[in-house]
């Protein structure tokens, strides 16, 4: 179904509450925020009054509302206005997970649905538009309130215990809001067939949230993309920009029509996106060969976009990154715009983009404003190019920006304000994380928390899309964080969200969550394009090794024994993590993509264990050498494992806690 494109560019915060997530009440159960990967996961679900569940993204406002609701075997689902099939599916799945085996669905106002407020025993779930009086009345009766400002994609949710169950009301400000209320309900389900009692008022802080498949190297597979689009719905992301650099039909050969099979795939992706409340944004990247002044080329571009409109796409994008803009592709451009240069490139691009906005976007129903990435995308310095675009580009057109560098070490509100000033509009962040297509990322997965983006960025950004890795499933860790930040940057907690992402991938299994967090720590390093890393490698392991070394250096036998025990248990966690992940993560793509890194971690975990065995033997007066030799041999085997040919660019030996674990293992014999 077509979606509304009237998202506000600046969204007020409804008294964003500082929430304390002391307790985890819902499956998936994940480790406590602030605790290291090796520590025990948080105590399981609690239905104590006042306990707040972990909901990710963090809602703008959520308070506890008394004891949890018991979920009986049979539940009444009353549907008001504006509810679509996908929202009902999410609600039904949540109720099934909560223990209901029968869901009796009735329309509000019909026989059986007349008392939407649930004035009868059992559990009643009411869902619909907040503008539907049956829904808003039920919301008030359940302890919720109707906000004054109905922000696009927002929702209110109230759940209140009653005899034999109680009432849950999901009231969306629009169809997206209804779907997001259902995604929140999914996370309110607690162990023991219960739903947490809460009152929530929620909406996104940024209008655009999601990913841009904009990397070099092997594009994602069709299956990857279908899976990603479903995942975005789960994390309340609403944007997927399709612009893989290696799809020749959108870059090198952008004028060529898609063959029927590729078009059928794109159609399926658009349908999948719509079903999960995601805008499929189709991008063409014509800059390698376009003749800006040739009406036939402008027409060819619009024809290409039209093909995708016919398949259901309603959001379009022109990518002008990574092209030369100081030479023309045709003599006509020299006549029309003058000698090649930044200012003339700006004029040519402004004409093209305005033509697409006016002649294509404005004439096609239900289409979102055009989006684009300029050729100068990674700084905030004014230039002849930027000033022409600032002055001439239709103000509706959304401009992307990657930060103060292609891969910036951080992004502050002041940076984004400077970018907004230079582009004459709020900018849309193209965040080059966790993309791993450049030299410094060779052999790496980038699995640190999404971090170093300043709270408050929603005041200067229209949204954030992350440019992910060739490895789609492994990118979910960062994407989970990016979507959460863009939804509510003020209350975003990188570490808590990272743990929630691990819990999501682990399907709520605590042992698998722990194993994943230990694995992510060994793939924590995030490089820039230069020598500087903006996220350190294996901070948890590095801290543990530093503690161990300090204890060892103390010379105290007691401290050495206890240090061996502590690090030994973490070494066992690392050595066992690959097996736990292979068994406990149900997503086959995640297991397949990470296979070389898990194989290497297996060996590195054993190398660490052998090293500690050597040190223990030495402490007890034995000969450590055989253990150190074994450790060196295992390290050598790990170093020989490479990325899977054809799956990533650039290829190379995989890196696992490099500069941390390898250093410790090689230095241990001389400790
Ligand atoms: C870039 C490219 C992007 C690439 C990234 C990291 C933009 C706008 N373009 O410059 O396609 O994946 O660097 O190598 O970021």
Residue 519 belongs to a domain: no
Is residue 296 in a domain? yes
E strands of 51-122, at which residues? 61-64, 69-70, 74-79, 102-107
Question: What CATH number has the domain bearing residue 347?
Answer: 3.20.20.80
Instruction: Provide the strand spans (E) within 526-635.
Output: 526-527, 533-535
Q: Measuring from each residue's beta carbon to the nearest atom of ligand 1, which residues come in under 6 Å? A: 214-216, 245, 321-322, 373, 377, 402, 406, 430, 432, 435, 437-438, 467
Pair (326, 392) in one structural domain: yes
Determine the distance separating the centroid of ligand 1 and the alpha carbon of 406, expressed in angstroms: 7
Same domain, 542 and 485: no
Cβ within 8 Å of residue 148, ≥6 positions away: none
> Ligand 1: distance of its center to the CA of 504 in Å?
28
List the residue whose alpha carbon is closest to atom 3 of ligand 1.
Answer: 215
Cis peptide, bond prior to residue 241, ω within 30 of zero: no
Residues 483 and 545 placed together within one structural domain of the fold: no
Residues 194 and 219 in one domain: no
- Give domain status of residue 512, yes or no: no
* Cis geometry, peptide bond prior to residue 459 (ω within 30 degrees of 0): no
Residue nearest to atom 9 of ligand 1 (CA): 321
Neighbours of 641 (CB within 10 A): 20
Please check whether residue 14 lies inside any domain of the structure: no
Residue with the nearest Cα to atom 7 of ligand 1? 321
Question: Are both 190 and 286 inside the same structural domain?
Answer: no
Is 524 contained in some domain?
Answer: no
Which ligand 1 atom sits closest to the C-alpha of 214? 11
**252 and 399 within one domain:** yes
| CATH (domain of 90) | 3.30.379.10
Looking at ligand 1, which atom is closest to the CA of residue 377?
A: 8
Residue 344 and residue 277 share a domain: yes
- For residues 195 and 334, state if they share a domain: no
Q: Whose CA is nearest to atom 12 of ligand 1?
A: 215
Answer yes or no: is 509 within a domain.
no
Looking at the fold, whether 195 and 279 belong to one and the same domain comes out as no
158, 175, 202 - which closes a domain = 202
Q: What is the mean pLDDT of each run of 10 residues along the chain (671 residues)?
A: 38 28 28 43 44 94 97 97 98 97 95 72 96 97 96 98 96 98 97 96 98 96 98 98 94 97 98 98 97 98 98 98 94 97 97 98 98 98 98 98 98 98 98 98 98 98 98 98 98 98 97 98 97 97 98 98 98 98 98 98 98 98 98 98 95 98 97 92
> Domain residues for 257?
208-493
Nearest residue CA, atom 8 of ligand 1? 321
pLDDT of residue 404: 97
Does 179 share its domain with 146? yes
Residue 548 sits in a domain whose CATH number is 1.20.58.460
294 and 186 co-located in one domain: no
Looking at the structure, do residues 184 and 218 belong to the same domain, yes or no? no
DSSP 443: T
Scanning the structure block, which residue is given the tokens 């999410």?
90
Burial class (CB within 10 angstroms; exposed 0-12, middle 13-18, buried 19+) of 14: middle
Pocket of ligand 1, candidates 322, 372, 405, 438: which has the most ligand atoms within 8 Å of its Cβ, to mutate?
Answer: 322
Q: How many domains does the chain have?
A: 3
């Amino acid at each position: 179904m077509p979606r509304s494109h009237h998202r506000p560019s600046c969204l007020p915060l409804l008294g964003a509450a500082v929430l304390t997530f002391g307790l985890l009440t819902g499956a998936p159960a994940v480790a406590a925020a602030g605790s290291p990967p090796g520590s025990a996961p948080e105590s399981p679900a609690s239905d104590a009054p006042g306990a707040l569940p972990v909901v990710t993204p963090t809602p703008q406002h959520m308070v506890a509302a008394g004891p949890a609701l018991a979920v009986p075997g049979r539940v009444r689902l009353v549907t008001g206005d504006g509810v679509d099939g996908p929202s009902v599916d999410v609600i039904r799945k949540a109720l099934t997970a909560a223990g209901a085996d029968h869901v009796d669905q009735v329309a509000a106002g019909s026989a059986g649905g007349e008392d939407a407020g649930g004035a009868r025993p059992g559990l009643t779930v009411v869902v619909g538009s907040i503008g539907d009086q049956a829904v808003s009345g039920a919301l008030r009766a359940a302890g919720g309130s109707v906000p004054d400002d109905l922000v696009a994609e927002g929702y209110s949710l109230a759940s209140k215990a009653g005899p034999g169950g109680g009432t849950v009301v999901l009231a969306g400000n629009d169809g997206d809001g209804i779907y997001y209320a259902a995604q929140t309900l999914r996370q309110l389900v607690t162990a023991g067939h219960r739903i947490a009692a809460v009152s929530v008022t929620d909406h996104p802080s940024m209008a655009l949230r999601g990913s841009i498949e904009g990397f070099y190297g092997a594009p994602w597979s069709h299956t990857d993309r279908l899976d990603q689009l479903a995942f975005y719905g789960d994390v309340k992301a609403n944007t997927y920009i399709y612009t893989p650099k290696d799809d020749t039909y959108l870059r090198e050969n952008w004028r060529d029509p898609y063959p029927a099979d590729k078009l059928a795939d794109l159609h399926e992706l658009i349908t999948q996106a719509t079903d999960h409340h995601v805008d499929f944004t189709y991008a063409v990247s014509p800059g390698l060969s376009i003749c800006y002044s040739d009406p036939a080329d402008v027409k060819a571009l619009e024809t290409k976009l039209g093909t995708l409109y016919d398949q259901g796409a309603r959001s379009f994008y022109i990518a002008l990154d990574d092209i030369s803009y100081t030479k023309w592709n045709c003599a006509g451009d020299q006549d029309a715009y003058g000698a090649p240069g930044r200012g003339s490139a700006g004029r040519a691009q402004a004409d093209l983009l305005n033509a697409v906005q006016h002649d294509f976007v404005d004439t096609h129903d239900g289409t979102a404003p055009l989006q684009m990435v300029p050729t100068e995308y990674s700084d905030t310095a004014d230039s002849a190019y930027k000033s022409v675009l600032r002055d001439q580009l239709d103000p509706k057109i959304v401009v992307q920006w990657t930060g103060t560098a292609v891969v910036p070490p951080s992004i502050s509100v002041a940076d984004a304000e400077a970018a907004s000033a230079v582009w004459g509009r709020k900018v849309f962040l193209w965040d080059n994380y966790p993309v791993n297509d450049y030299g410094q990322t060779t052999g790496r997965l980038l699995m640190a928390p999404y971090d170093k983006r300043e709270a408050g960025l929603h005041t200067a950004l229209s949204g954030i899309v992350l440019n992910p890795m060739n490895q789609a499933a492994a990118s979910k860790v960062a994407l989970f964080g990016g979507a959460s930040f863009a939804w509510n940057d003020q209350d975003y907690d990188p570490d808590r969200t990272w743990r929630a992402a691990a819990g999501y991938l682990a399907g709520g299994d605590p042992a698998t969550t722990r194993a994943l967090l230990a694995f992510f720590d060994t793939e924590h390093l995030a490089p820039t394009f230069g020598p500087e890393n903006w996220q350190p490698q294996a901070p948890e392991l590095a801290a543990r090794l530093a503690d161990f070394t300090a204890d060892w250096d103390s010379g105290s036998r007691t401290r050495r024994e206890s240090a061996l025990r502590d690090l030994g248990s973490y070494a066992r966690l690392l050595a066992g993590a690959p097996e736990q992940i292979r068994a406990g993560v149900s997503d086959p793509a995640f297991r397949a993509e990470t296979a070389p890194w898990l194989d290497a971690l297996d060996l590195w975990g054993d190398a660490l264990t052998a090293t500690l065995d050597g040190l223990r033997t030495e402490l007890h007066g034995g000969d450590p050498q055989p253990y150190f030799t074994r450790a060196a041999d295992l390290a050598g085997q790990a170093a020989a494992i490479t990325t899977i040919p054809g799956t990533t660019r650039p290829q190379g030996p995989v890196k696992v806690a490099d500069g941390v674990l390898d250093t410790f293992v090689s230095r241990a014999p001389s400790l």
